[in-house]
Amino acid sequence: KEAGIPEEDIEILVDKAFNIFVLYGAEKEYPKEKIREVLETAYF
C-alpha cells in the first residue's frame, strides 16, 4: 500500500460504517468485506 490510512484505522472505519448499515437494516447489502473493499479502493 502506498500512502494512505493505516490498516488498523481502516478496520475502525469498517466497523463504524458496518454499525451504521446495521441501524438501517442494510448489513446484508453491505457486509464488512464490501465496505473494506470500497474504502481501500475509493480513498486509499
* Domain boundaries, given as residue ranges, for the chain: 7-42
Residue 44 cell numbers, joined: 486509499
Is 1 a residue whose pLDDT tops 50?
no
pLDDT at 5: 78
pLDDT at 2: 56
Residues 9-41 pLDDT 10s:
999 999 999 999 999 999 999 999 999 999 888
φ/ψ of 2, rounded to 5, equals -85, -170
Rounded to two decimals, the pTM is 0.76
Is 3 a residue whose pLDDT tops 80?
no
Spatial distance between the Cα atoms of 2 and 27, rounded to a whole number of angstroms:
29
